[in-house]
Structure 1
Amino acid sequence: MTREDRGSGDVKNQAYSDVVTMGETMALMKAATPGPLAHAGSLELGMGGAETNFAIALKRLGTSVTWLGRVGQDSLGDLVLREVAAEGITTLGIRDAGAPTGLMIKERRTLEHLKVWYYRSGSAGSRLAPEDVPVETIRNAKLLHLTGITPGLSGSAYEAALNAVNVAREAGVRVSFDLNYRAALWTEEDAGPVFRRFIELATIVFAGDDEARIAVGHGADSFELAHKIAAMGPRQVIIKNGPLGCAAVIDGVELRQEAVRINAVDTVGAGDAFVAGYISDLLAGAPAEERLRTAVRTGAFACLVPGDWEGMPRRHELGLLDASEPVTR
């Protein structure tokens, strides 16, 4: 395996960030209008990935963040690293000459239904390895954030994620884990034990109801699922319920937050934005209720424009969801 330069990610020359995240970001192609992909006259090119969606949202809210990932020594890798760095994120991009940058293609068959096709088998991102983990960067952070996508990519990516968590725990750095189940990567039966392993090591856990059930079995409602997860170790468990808001068990206390009413355009990336809103306020010392309010607002913003991360809000924009006038003069 060839490991090339880290671009802007030379750890020796970078200031440390409050948050570190790592995982695969891929090139993204999509048609400009709804309809069968087979009849699309052209495709738009961009990039996306759960961890960089989260990182972009976090940075726009004012929290410093470092992202690490592998990309190919190709033009799609250039695109990923350029876009992530352009958002002000400290980018530890490992160029892998032995594997291509992963690709995903969005097909919006109707205005309501979206299908994502993944071409990531053997990708550079799936070759993430334990030796890639930025140990000193994690040790000097306030929080490490991972999703369940990374350990599902490959055996080496699983070991890399576990290594990062162990580094964080040994340094007293909080660990945030978003289950983020992807059926295209693995079965629920395979994902369940891995989710439980990371839940046991995490300080904060995020999940949807269905994802939580993969890890802990059936629950009568979101609060029961959150309590089951909390019993495994995390002090903060937040269940994301999309348009229904969220339910949380934080230090044993049950909290519920309603969603912001919007006309959603594209919900991809909303969960990543939600997590970023919560984490940004957590690191700023905000109380739990305020963290949840910011989380649902940030998640709502991500749904207002097409794209995985383009609609992530700046902090001063969060109040726009309360505006009574559609035009600001």
Structure 2
Amino acid sequence: MGHETAADVLTLGETMVALRGSGPLKLGGSMEVSVAGAESNVAIGLARLGHAARWAGAVGDDEAGELVLRTLRAEGVDVSGATRDPDAPTGLILFEPRLPEVTRVHYYRAGSAGSRLTATAVEDAFASPAAPRVLHLTGITPALGPSALAACRRGLELAREHGTTVCLDVNFRSRLWSAEESAAVMRSWMPYVDVLIASDDELPLCVPESKNTSGEASALAEELRAQGVGEVVVKLGADGATTYDADGELYAPARPVRAVDAVGAGDAFVAGYLSALLDGEDLAGRLDRAVTTGAFAVASHGDWEGAPTRAELGLLGAGPGTVVR
């Protein structure tokens, strides 16, 4: 696959075929077919906001992999850094709604193509006309296996070599690895990270236990900043978000919306934050766009389908029942 244009943001990870059921899985019924993956959700969110986003991941040499690549291409994401693995399948994720507020998730991704992403593939994705302005990683990819972990590590090294800003969303998944395993990797990555995004319960995974005395987000953020992390962004869900940087801390409440589906909200938040960062917005502007794009995700079904375009960012300011002509 040839490289075309330099990326504003390069991200890498596993994107799976997503099947969403209408009810309990054991009862059968119909399922909607889409794709899902934290990193590709961010890439789509950025592309809709007008940024050049590149996704580097591995899919199987199968029809499921073709669906992943086709969907990302259709959303304007550069997949020239993607690879097809002839010896492993594209991963699968099933969403099973059980209660109005509860959806169970079932993964079929062990041994998948995405878990076998290589460091060489990441090197190829960096070898574009110019290095990406931002490398975005999550704590999901290194949990997939040794190869994916090595690929992420190579990405961090290349970002340092090229002066690329590194954004890390901790995104801890207990179904993939233990808190101890995650902490060992996250703490080793901190010297490379410029922008850290985490929920308040994920912050301790990034700070050595000896430095985690109070457990308070502000104290943990201060310790991370002392380690060289430029910005620490703490996601508080329905309560909004707080960012800590050299100028202190800044809080932004969540935008009030009718919650439909919280899946993908964190990825949409990241896309909004990085979009405003790329645009040169100040801290308040970055937080504002992040809570706005996060609200769009909460108010829409699916992982990425509700991500707004730049022209739609102002829609949440319209009153209830507004008809936009």
TM-score normalised per structure 2: 0.94
The equivalent residue for 2:71 is 83
2:160 is aligned with 1:169: yes
Question: Does the 8 Å contact 1:138/1:144 carry over to 2?
Answer: no
Deviation at 1:153, TM superposition (A): 0.8
The equivalent residue for 1:317 is 312
The equivalent residue for 1:237 is 232
1:141-290 matches, cutoff 5 A: 141-216=132-207, 219-290=214-285
Distance 2:199 2:76 in 1: 29
Counterpart pick for 1:120 among 91, 109, 117:
109
Gaps of 5+ in 2: none
The equivalent residue for 2:11 is 21
Deviation at 1:40, TM superposition (A): 3.2
Distance 1:311 1:112 in 2: 19
Distance 2:128 2:201 in 1: 33
SS in 2 for 1:117: strand
Distance 2:46 2:218 in 1: 26
The equivalent residue for 2:294 is 299
Deviation at 1:274, TM superposition (A): 0.5
TM-score normalised per structure 1: 0.93
Please tell me the residue identity of whatever aligns with 1:326: T
Q: Residues 96-121 of structure 1, C-alpha deviation per residue, up to 9 Å, x if partnerless? A: 11000000000110110011111110
In structure 2, the CA distance between the partners of 1:182 and 1:138, relative to structure 1 (3 Å rule), is farther
2:38 is aligned with 1:50: yes
Gaps of 5+ in 1: 1-5
2:316 is aligned with 1:327: no
The equivalent residue for 1:3 is none
Deviation at 1:139, TM superposition (A): 5.2
Runs of 4+ in structure 1 over 4 Å off: 217-220
Question: Does the 8 Å contact 2:269/2:294 carry over to 1?
Answer: yes
Q: Residues 226-260 of structure 1, C-alpha deviation per residue, up to 9 Å, x if partnerless? A: 22322222111100011000111122411111110
How many aligned residue pairs are there? Answer: 317
Counterpart pick for 2:121 among 116, 120, 132:
132
Q: Residues 27-78 of structure 1, C-alpha deviation per residue, up to 9 Å, x if partnerless? A: 00011x3x32111311111111000000000111111111011000111001
Counterpart pick for 2:86 among 75, 94, 97:
97
Deviation at 1:172, TM superposition (A): 0.8
2:55 is aligned with 1:67: yes
Please tell me the residue identity of whatever aligns with 1:295: A
Two-structure CA RMSD over aligned residues (Å): 1.4
Deviation at 1:196, TM superposition (A): 1.0
Question: Does the 8 Å contact 2:6/2:130 carry over to 1?
Answer: no
